[in-house]
Structures are given as structure tokens and as C-alpha cells.
Structure 1
């Protein structure tokens, strides 16, 4: 696992790329790779590639940039899990390997298969490969979007990096707000790719590759599970058998490492499944949990301890206090790069730091299981409403609009967005809006210039209502929420502490299969993850199997009633915030929340994240100074 950066002056006859510039960009990512660093500048000065290394596989020989037989130069972030099999295949075609690391397999795959090499890689990755013979860069991001790649192109220069902060280290790039996507950020808690909250900086979508050459930049989608819009005809028993087989294979491949591998353990079904699938390795595995002493309803440590005792793991845990949360707020936003307004970012940072302190630089995590197998309680609630919503959609358009106009808008009710979608003839995805509902966005934003696309634009003629909402929901989850929010939060906060996180539930072959399983195999009344529970019923303890879901979260409601709420009010007084928000409305929400008259925490959190991000990355205030000011106010009020 690593951090990569680079420059290609594709529009210049004579290059001006210097090692100093590449190193300045590269070393903003030292947290992603503390074990080594490399840089390469082409002879003509038009190309510069930089790399920071976190050594996981072939510790002695994985230095990058790495060169191919034809002078190709590669920088790569991630792991290629099928590299042993791919290596054997390439050796059969005459390739000769110098190392045992997975990086080299990409170079040989490119030499034999060209741009189609991306279709042969199974893993999590972002890479950029310079081909001097063709005078072009090939760049790609893995199918599910586990690893990030940011880029910008201006004035004939292409820049790329694992994190946007490295691009901001280049003199050509300045931090400016992309106001066109601010509403989308508030609705989704993150900006959908390819845009970011930085004007002019893009993020490569999952399953996408591209070229940069003298003609400029062009990209294409090489893998897209959301294109599937039909269910498989398969029995529950057969589906469970196949899911078990694919999941076992995924877990085993993700144990590839020359360093210790642990598990992030909440005690819930997903993380317990990963421990159970380790079989005889479980007793030699370290597990890590995080909790909150002041929020017992969100503290799962007791369940995690029970699971650890059951499987005999070497268990460790950390507790986060309100003061520690406030102290780490600016650090959290710093590592987010652009706001990822999911409160889970906070505990993720603490538990990954714990893993690193305990000498475990690789962890398995349960991300993706809820999206793939329908594990969210919100899905249950939404499915209960399907009959009423379908009846509503059959009414004449005029009657539907009259009903909508008669429903009072409430800043606390997401149901209004659901109703509006149904009135329009097509229900919105079940998780949308994840953040601030539309009625409240209209209250807090000064302008609303952008209406984010949430669902695919076309329907196949034979889809029924259930099929439409099921695939629209999965499209939203796998195109936006999972890759750009959930996977980016675990990438940022594992790598912030030089830890590599792997997600076995998101093996592409498993995703392609489970994505098309019928709804009844995933959700049966109040019972979620039906096929996954069936597949693992013999190894997951009944206590865990039958336990109600308790989502992984953070006590932001409690925090925002204390000094963190004060910090938000203070940040809102900055003149810059009045360019985006009706700050008086937001301040009133903080006051209502603190007096217990409204449950606004989930709506205030993305605004707080944006305000801190703006102060640090747009206005340029030191994160340390901002933290000191917030803490000093906390101390003064305590007196």
C-alpha cells in the first residue's frame, strides 16, 4: 500500500518537471508510505513520477517507481490478489520476473496485453504507467473504488496523486471551492465522482481507466456492475453455497502478506464473519475495536470482546472521549482531503491507530456487506412502504402533485424526498438523501445551482416496480455511496496511520454474483442478509447471527451539544461561510439541538466538516492553530 504522485507535461515540447516539485508533492503522502520513497524524472523533463511505500509484500524488492523491459515506468498503490496466478500465466508467455512482488506483474501484463491489462487484475489498486515508446500515461482505478486517484489537467500539464493534498502542493494548483457540487455534498455526505469539492480537481471513478498523451486526457469505464438490471434465477440454497465459496476464496486471497494481518472487529455479523472465515488462523489473529465511554448505545465493545473470546483472538480496544474527538477534529478533516461527512471517520481513525501501535499494518474490514446483501434497517422500512408508494405512482399525475403539495415539509423528515420521488413516477434510492433532506437544503444554502444525478437515466422496458427500486438503490450504493464515501473513509483513516485495510466482501467476482441475487434472497420481512446468514450459519455463533444490527457510528449528537457545537457556531461567524450558508439558520439549528428541541446532529455534521475543511484547505489556516483555539474555548467555558 502506497502513495503515488506524478506530472506529465503532455502539451510541451521541452519539459520543466523537476525532482524538487515531485518530491514536494510526494512527501505530502508520507503517512501512506513510511517505509521508502522514490522519484523518477524522464530524460526530456516532461514526466516525473513519485512514490511512497508501505511495505507489505516482498519487503526487500518492492521499491518504486519500477521499470519494465521496454523502459515503462510504474507507480502503483494497492494489492493485486491474483498476482501469483497472473504471474504464472505471463511466465508461460515468456515474461521473466526479477522480484516476488505484485507490482511487477502489472508491468508484464501491460507489455503483453496493453490497456486490457486492467481487466486481468483482481485487487484494490490505483496505478499510473508511463510508456515512453508511445509517449503516453495509462492510469486506472480498481473496479469497486477501494483506492483513490485524483487528477487535474491544465495548460498542457497532467497531474495525479493518491490524495488531493498532494496536488495542492504543486504551484499550478490552488484550493478553490467547487460551489456547483455543494448541494450534492450535503445530500450525499460526499461529492460524486468525477467531481470534487475542489474546483478543477477530479477523482477517477471506480472501474475506470484512461490515457494522457499529446491529445490530452480521455477515460473509459472498463468494469461496471451496475449495468446489470436483471435478477438471477437461482435457489436460496444454491446461492448460499456459491456465496460461501466465493467469500472463502476472497478472504484467503486477502491474507496475502509478509507482515501481520488483523481484523477490525465490532462484534456485529460482518466483522465476526471475517474472523470465523479465518478458521484455524483466528486464534493467531489480532482483533481491534473502538468504543465510547459516554455513549453506551453506540459502544459495541462488549459484543466484540465476546466474539474475541469465542474465537480466541488477541483482542485490543480503544475508547474515544469527547475531548479526544474535539482534539482530533481538524486532523480528521485534514486526512479526509475533501469532506467525507460520515461520523464513522472519527472512530476509524482511532482504531486504525491502535492497530498500528500494536504492530499490525494490515487489517480486514467488513465494508460492502450491507450494500451487497441488504443489511440496513432502512431497507426494511423502505420495503414496507413499497405497496403504498406503488399505489401512489399509479394515480394520475395531477392527483399525485396535489397530494405532495398538501404534505407539510419538515426539516426532520426524509420521507418527503421519498414521496417526491414517487410522485415523479420513480422512487428515489432507499438511502437517498443520506445527509441533509431537500427541504432543509433549501433552508440552509444560499443558492442551489446543481441537481445531482442519483439514478440511471434509462429503464429497461420489462422492469417491474420492485426491480426498479432494487437496482436503482444498488446503482446508488455501488456508484456513489460505497466507493466515494465508505471506501474512501477506510482508505483515508487506515492510511493516515500507515495501515492497509482490505475488504473481502468486495471481491469483484462475489459482487458480480451477489449484486444480481433476487431481493427475497437478501431481505425477508425484517430479516436482512438472508443468503449471507444461510451461507455462514455453521461458523457464525447464534448470539451474533440473531443479534439486531447496531450500526457502527459515533456519538455526534452528544458531541454537538458540547464544545464541538461551540466550535461550529464559532466557525459560522467567519465571513467566508456566509458565501455558502444562511449561517443564522444553521446557528439556530445548533441552539435547538443543544436544548433538545431537535435532532439535528446528522444535518449539522456535514456543515461542520465543510467549515473546518474550508478554514484549513481553502483559507489556509494551520490545523494545529485551529485545534488550539477550539480547545482553549473548551477550557475557558469549563471554568
Structure 2
């Protein structure tokens, strides 16, 4: 909760600056009544709000600095590290001495801004995993920035203008991948990135990028001991001085956090789970297994279709741009349950799969990668020509499977990971209007995928996929989902599995310790097999998936909400009207779960538009 907003390069009276700063800060503090620290300069201003322990500011002789987040320092003199010293001032001293290299001295999750009016320069930065967003609008002499796009567009130098390319990217990715935003000329910092603004020019550069040690020689026992130590220290740091609880889905990560949370606090952990009365979606029994195993103080709530109808406008409002991950709904109800129970900080297990190899597609892509070991002549002259000239649907079952395998395995990475993409399956020209597509680069998502995948400093397939997911799955999707859901529920959240120390440890593991052929999370599960219940070790990953498409068929209010939203979306000339009609009718009846996802994505787009009509 909380965040920051500010600007530099706009000279105005002190009272005028305060009025504008208050206006910008309104969307940041709408769910949070905690105090706001404001710092005003001659042509700059900054506001930082949030939990008292996460707000760090300092102002002196033309320099303003603000840090939002839970930070620690490393690689600095011990005398500077005293707890009673202002952390913003500590970092400022290091920055004045070392420049941008000082960013390597910060550990933890943070957004940071420094405005130096004496030298007409500004520095913005986010933490290594991009836990929270920081965006900016650079316009000549002016730089406007915030953790919220809704704050930026309230500044007169950053009038909002919808970026059509970002709308296309949203439907493709189900979110808008950074550095893009929904608005033209506004950009988000990437994980581990900083921005400098000087001489009317904004430049970005990484202060940290992941590097993988892929030939590790450390013994399994040494690694196992270190993992357990890091889990305890990361969870202890995440708890801090708060009354902490944990999300509990019954998966490996949430169960691990629940168990260790009880150990580090010395009392049974408070755990919170969401269920669904829908076949194939409810995994409450696994959460109960973990709760019994660790003797947690367990709490459950079953989300209903009526809950979804009520929550949709609030979910759309808390995100500062269109966001299509339906799991934000159960995450919100889970966080709200914890907040009502007196919990002040809830721990999420996000990131464990992306650090230790837990997603099903990692195993699938390993199998597809075996195809490249076949002789080129066999692949290029026999198998692929055969697959191109037959119809997979008409083949007998064994040959049909071979056809499908060759069809996908022949596609190079990372494009192979997107073969199930909803938009591509429906067909771009079948979804979007011709007028809309006239101004769109339909190849840009592929370019973003390629750039991210091929810039990763790793040789192994699994590490390339993991680091790719750190950006697209975590920083762009899962972390914003949980952060904003908790913001709406008015509760702080922390992610101990992606602490800097845990990330560094994961990069030292051999690739086959993460995914051993098709065995997911091999090392993590082996290291904790005497700690976690056997059922949790063996279970398939599921998570808090929302049965939206299934419910959509039989629930009148939910059906009306979706139909009304998509009908209104037609008038924006983005999505084809005939596609919307077919989607709500034929497609939904054919495969409710699959096509329900597209309905959700488009519904949330229209809901976001509606809530911002007066600003656009």
C-alpha cells in the first residue's frame, strides 16, 4: 500500500505545488489513510506514503530523496547502517559518492527517486524483481513520475492519451507488459532498472541483471542447508514487526511459508484460503492438509458468482491500467479475510515456481527441446514436410500425437511458449476491427518476447525460461495482481520467496536441480520432503484460478455483467461486434473455461474504460 508521486522541471509557487501534489496523491492514498510525507522544492515536488516503516524521505540544500519500500543496505560502512539513521539520507550519501553504482547497496523491495535541483538531474529506480511499479512521463524540461499512472495523468504536463498499441498488447498478454503503459509517452521501469533525467533527456540502464552459475559443484546437502536458512531469514525479514499471516493455496510455496511462519513467530501461523464451488477448480482440501500438518490457525472463504459481480468494478478501479488476470478476485477476498482478522501483513508465495522450476510448461518445453537432437535431415526433410502435408485431425491417435509434437517442437523458442495464446487461436483479424488494426504493429508482442528471452545471461533452456518469467509472469502479472488486490483490501503484502538473497541462491543451482527432465522443482521438493506433507509434494499446480467461464453459463447477474460490458465495448471500435456475439454465444457453449478467459479480458477492458471516462 502507498507509493510515491512527484515531478521536476515545473517552477510554481509553494502553495500551487502542494495543491497539485495533493491532487496527484489522491489515487495513491484512496485505500490508505496513513500520513503522507511531502517535500517541495523550487521546481520539484515529491510525496511518499505508506506504512511508517516503508517511507523514507530526506531534503537538504536543493536535493529531495524518497524511498518507498522495505529496504536493507549492503556493501556500505558499518557506521552508516545504524537503525536510527534516516535510510534516505544514508542512500543519498552513497549516491553522492558513487553515483548510480550506489543502487547495488540496496536490498529489498523499493521504488526510489532523487531530485537534485542544484545540478538539474533526477534518478528513478525500482528493485531487482520489479515488485512495485514506477512509471514516468518525460516531456522536454519536465519529468513527472509515480507508482500510479492515475497520479501521473493528473499533472498538467502529462495529459492522458490512450496508446492503441498497448490495447493490442493487453489482449495478447492479458496485461500491458513493461516498459509500455496504457498511455502514450508514459513508461514503466523494468525490474533492476534505473532512469536518469538530465539535460532534458531521459535515459534508462540496468544496475542489476540476473546471471546464472550453471555448473555448480556444491553438494546437495550444503545447498539444502542454505535453502532452509534462507527461507527462515527471508520469512523473518518479511514479517518484520507486523502481525503476519499467509496466503495458503495448498501448493508447495504457500505451504512452505505457512510452516516456516509458525516457526519464526513461535506460534501457529494464521493462514487464509479461497475455495470455489465448481468442479476442477477447488483445491481447498490441499490447503486443509497443509493447515493440519503445520497446525495453523486456518481460515476459509468460498467465493461465489455474486461476489464476482460485486467485486469487478472495484478490481477494475484499483488497477491503473487494464489488467486481465481473473485471479485478482480470489486474491482480494483472501486478503480481505486476513485484514478483517487483524492481520497487518500477509505473505505471498509468488515467485517460487519461477525461481525453482515449478510451472508445467518448463517440463513440456524440455520434451519439445529433445526434438532438436534429431538429425537435421530427419527433421527438415522427412518429419516437418510430413506434418505440413497432413491433417492432424484425420490421423489415427498415435500419429495425431506425433503430428502435434512435431508441429510445436519445430517452432523455435520463445515463440513456442505462445502457441496456446488466446488471441492467436482466435485470429487477430477475427478479433480486432480493421480500423483499429490499421495503426497497430501486430508483430510487437513477438519482438518483446524475443528481446526479453535472448538478452538473458543463461545457456540452459530452463534458466532462460525462468528469467523470461521473472519479467512477464512475475513483474508484469502476478506481482501487480497481488499487490493491487491487497491494496484494495487495505493490507500490506510481502513476497519472501523473491528476496534478493533467495534470487541469488536460485541462480547458483544447476539447471537440472530445477527441472530434472520432467520433474519440476526437483531440488526444492527433495530439500523439503521431510518438512512438507507428502500430498503437497506430489500435487499438481493449480492456484487460485477463477471458474468465471463455468459460472457465466448459469448465473444471470454475472452473465448480464459480461454481456453489458462487451456490448458497450463494441462502440469503441476496437473489437469486432460479430466476434463478441460469437464469443458470448457459440464459443462460450463450446468451451466455457477456455473462452471465458477472453470474455473476462474484454470485460475488464471495458470496466477500466468506464471508470476513467471523465479523465480520457
Bin for the TM-score computed over the shorter chain: 0.7 to 0.9
Q: Residue 7 in 1 paired to residue 7 in 2?
A: yes
Is 1:392–1:423's contact at 8 Å kept on the other side of the alignment? no
- Please identify, of 391-400 and 536-545, the stretch whose mean Cα deviation from structure 2 is larger: 391-400
The Cα of 1:221 is off from its aligned counterpart by: 0.7
Partner SS, residue 38 of structure 2? strand
Whole-Å Cα distance in 2 between the matches of residues 97 and 510 of structure 1?
Answer: 24
What's 1:630 paired with? none
Which of 236, 249, 252 is equivalent to 2:233? 249
Q: CA RMSD in A?
A: 3.5
* Structure 2 Cα separation of the partners of residues 609 and 426 of structure 1: 30
| Alpha-carbon distance between aligned partners in 2 of 1:33 and 1:72, rounded to the nearest angstrom | 27
CA distance in 1, matches of 2:32, 2:484: 13
Question: Which residue does 1:540 correspond to in 2?
Answer: 532
Distance 1:231 1:73, change over 3 A: same
1:51 corresponds in structure 2 to 48
Q: 1:79 aligns with which of 51, 54, 70?
A: 70
Cα displacement (A) at 1:581: 1.3
1:118 paired residue among 103, 110, 113: 103
2: CA distance between counterparts of 1:421 and 1:49? Answer: 51
Q: Compare 320-329 and 492-501 and name the one that shifted more.
A: 492-501
Q: Which residue of 1 aligns with 2:158?
A: 173
Q: CA deviation at 1:310?
A: 2.9
Post-superposition CA distance 1:55-113 (Å, at most 9, x none): 346xxxx6x6x225655322222111x34x67xx4453xx5969466555434443443
CA gap 1:97/1:230 in 2 versus in 1, 3 angstroms: closer
Q: Secondary structure at the match of 2:469?
A: helix
- Asked whether the equivalents of residues 276 and 282 of structure 1 are also in contact (C-alpha less than 8 Å), the reply is no
> Deviation of residue 263 (structure 1)?
1.1
CA distance, structure 1, for counterparts of residue 579 and residue 347 of structure 2:
42
C-alpha spacing 1:102/1:260, structure 2 compared with 1 (3 Å): farther
Question: Counterpart in 2 of 1:609?
Answer: 604
2:34 aligned with 1:35, yes or no?
Answer: yes
2:282 pairs with 1:299 = yes
How far residue 283 of structure 1 moved from its aligned partner, in angstroms, is: 2.4
1:423 positional shift: 4.1
Residue aligned with 2:131, SS: coil
TM superposition shift of 1:33: 4.0
Post-superposition offset of 1:535: 1.9
Aligned equivalents of 2:240 and 2:452: distance in 1? Answer: 40
TM-score by length of 1: 0.83
577 and 375 in structure 1: CA distance in 2 versus 1, 3 angstrom threshold = farther
Report the CA distance between 1:2 and its aligned residue: 2.7
Q: Which runs of 5+ in 1 are unaligned?
A: 622-639
Structure 1, residues 428-466: CA drift from partner, whole Å, max 9, x if none?
Answer: 364665653355334212325232221348969x99xxx
Moved more, 145-154 or 520-529: 520-529
- The structure that is helix-richer by fraction is 2
Report if aligned partners of 1:182, 1:197 keep a CA contact under 8 Å in 2: yes
2:441 to 423, 443, 449: 449
Does the Cα contact within 8 Å between 2:3 and 2:48 map onto a contact in 1? yes
> For 1:334, which of 314, 317, 327 is the aligned residue?
317
Give the TM-score of the pair, scaled to structure 2. 0.86
Shift of 1:575: 6.5
Q: Are the structure 2 counterparts of residues 435 and 103 from structure 1 closer, same or farther at C-alpha, using a change threshold of 3 Å?
A: farther
Distance 1:56 1:22, change over 3 A: same
For 2:429 and 2:221, the matched residues in 1 are separated by 48
Which residue of structure 1 aligns with residue 576 of structure 2?
582
Compute the displacement of 1:336 (Å): 1.8
Distance of 1:520 and 1:304 partners within structure 2: 29
2:396 match: none
How far 1:580 moved relative to its partner?
1.4
Deviation at 1:135, TM superposition (A): 2.9
Map of 1:539-558 to 2, 5 A cutoff? Answer: 539-558=531-550
Instruction: Deviation per CA, 1:514-536: give whole Å up to 9, x if none.
Output: 24534421223553211001222
* TM-superposed deviation, 1:291: 1.9
Q: Equivalent of 1:497, from 485, 489, 493?
A: 489
Number of equivalenced pairs: 595
2:124 corresponding residue in structure 1: 139
Report the Cα offset of residue 24 of structure 1.
0.6
CA drift of 1:48 comes to 1.2
In structure 2, relative to structure 1, the CA distance for the partners of 1:251 and 1:167 (3 Å cut) is same
Alpha-carbon distance between aligned partners in 2 of 1:457 and 1:501, rounded to the nearest angstrom: 27
State the distance in 2 between where 1:397 and 1:190 align: 40
Q: 1:253 to 1:405 in 2, by over 3 A?
A: farther
2:195 alignment counterpart: 210
Give yes or no for contact 1:90–1:108 (8 Å, CA) kept in 2.
no
**How far off is 1:296 after superposition?**
4.9
Deviation at 1:420, TM superposition (A): 7.2
List aligned pairs for 1:181-196, cutoff 5 A.
181-196=166-181
Q: How does 1:208-607 map to 2 (within 5 A)?
A: 208-225=193-210, 228=212, 230-234=214-218, 236-257=220-241, 259-278=242-261, 279=263, 281=265, 283-292=267-276, 294-388=277-371, 391=374, 395-396=379-380, 400=384, 403-404=387-388, 422-423=409-410, 425-426=412-413, 428=415, 430=417, 435-437=422-424, 439-446=426-433, 447=437, 449-451=441-443, 452=445, 453-456=448-451, 469-515=461-507, 517-524=509-516, 526-561=518-553, 562=555, 563-574=557-568, 577-596=571-590, 599-607=594-602
Rounded to whole Å, the distance in 1 between the matches of 2:404 and 2:575 is 21
1:298 aligned counterpart, secondary structure? coil
- Alpha-carbon distance between aligned partners in 1 of 2:569 and 2:50, rounded to the nearest angstrom: 41
Q: Deviations over 1:456-505 (max 9, x none)?
A: 48969x99xxx564344223202222111111111111122332211111
What is the CA-CA distance between 1:549 and the residue it aligns to?
2.6
Gaps of 5+ in 2: 394-399
Does the 8 Å contact 2:462/2:515 carry over to 1? no
